[in-house]
Amino acid sequence: MATPAPLSDLKRRFEIPGIAKIVDGHGGRPSVQVTTPRASGEIYLHGAHVTSWRPRDAEEVLHVSSKSKWQDGSAIRGGVPVCFPWFSTRAEDPHSPAHGLVRTKSWQLEGITHADHDVTVALSTSADEATRRTWFGEYHLLFCATFGEQLRLELIVTNHGTSSIRFEEALHSYFHVGNVAAVKLRGLNGAAYLDKTDAQREKHQHGDVVLAAETDRIYRNTLSTVEIEDPATRRRILIAKEDSRDTVVWNPWSEKAKAMPDLGADEWRQFVCVETCNIGDHGITLAPAQAHTMTALISLSAL
């Protein structure tokens, strides 16, 4: 495992004065804070985890729990966790870490670039001795987060091994809303989904998605943009994507949220997860030296 670079070295190599600064974030973990005329944002090296994106004159778009654990071995609750090489519980070994191996790793900062008022932060991580004990894949991940009027997230997986690898991937985005019970999700009408709250039964969406109880659905073969219509904040959050065949919609609702120690009281009311994924039989197979890129593009419009 690569040794994390000292904060002073990261500052010297990568900071852009007045645009991108590297700071000790929560729990003493390094984060990159971005400020431009168009937007502000933040990404942690811990998990390559985006924790903030706020376009100019707009409220925060992402939700991070007030009770999130900022410590080794724990994933940040909220923002945009990166799930790889499996999603949720690993089918072959339910004792493996939920959502894969990279949410709790310290990633390497590869670069920060500034062009046309947009700032791109690039982070990477690769297979190491610790990950090989759980999963055989010789992977290299590059995660690029571009902060501007839109938030562009790209996860690039490269197979550095000598045999094919198969993996699942997800950008597990938590979106801040005024009242989850009042939101409507558009763009999934007619899609088939697996209902994880009902023994994985396959169902079909009719009309807009409205949340009224614990919701955990894998929408299949979804390529179109999903819109979160949020009357409380009088805005729409739009999630477009590329090279992703699945969309997960999740909220734990009240009872399940009570059992989550890293989620603040009643915070389940303030977010909905709309996740860009390739999971299950849509998992990706890469031959040696091949690469795959999955992209989410997030934007706002007035309601």
Q: For 118-167, how does the pLDDT look when each residue is reduced to its tens digit (9 = 90+)?
A: 999 999 999 999 999 999 999 999 999 999 999 999 999 999 999 999 99
Residues 6 or more apart in contact with residue 116 via CB below 8 angstroms: 148
User: pLDDT (tens digit, 9 = 90+) per residue, 40-56?
Assistant: 999 999 999 999 999 99
pLDDT for res 92? 81
pLDDT-derived band at 1, boundaries 50, 70, 90? low
Q: Are 214 and 197 a contacting pair, CB within 8 Å?
A: yes
Q: Contact 139/156 with Cβ under 8 angstroms?
A: no
* Residue type present at position 76: I
Helix (H, G, I), strand (E, B) or coil at 93: coil
Residue 254, H or E segment? helix 253-258
User: Predicted confidence band at 5 (pLDDT cuts at 50, 70, 90)?
Assistant: confident
pLDDT above 80 (res 58): yes
Among residues 220, 242, 248, 239, the alpha carbon closest in space to that of 294 is found at 242
Question: pLDDT-derived band of residue 91, with 50, 70 and 90 as boundaries?
Answer: confident
Classify residue 79 as exposed, middle or buried by CB count within 10 Å of its CB (0-12, 13-18, 19+).
buried
Nearest to 192 by CA among 251, 253, 245, 271: 245
Residue 90 CA to residue 94 CA, distance in Å, equals 5
Confidence band for 26, pLDDT divided at 50, 70 and 90: very high
* Alpha-carbon torsion angle 262, 265, 271, 275, nearest 10: 30
Mean pLDDT in residue range 156-185? 98
> Active-site residue numbers?
172, 275
Q: Which residue did the predictor score with more confidence, 116 or 207?
A: 207
As assigned by CATH, the class of the 7-302 domain is mainly beta
Residue-level pLDDT at 2: 59
What pLDDT, in 10s, does the model give residues 224-281?
A: 999 999 999 999 999 999 999 999 999 999 999 999 999 988 999 999 999 999 999 9
All structural domains of the chain with their residue ranges? 7-302
pLDDT in the model for residue 210: 98
Would the pLDDT of 174 be above 80?
yes
Residue closest to 298 by CA, chosen among 250, 252, 251, 235: 235
- Taking the model in full, what pTM does it have? 0.96
pLDDT in the model for residue 300:
97
Q: Each residue of 66-88: pLDDT tens digit?
A: 999 999 889 999 999 999 999 99
Q: Over the stretch 192-203, which tens digit does the pLDDT of each residue have?
A: 999 999 999 999
SS3 (DSSP) at 8: helix
Whose tokens are 């979160």? That residue is 228
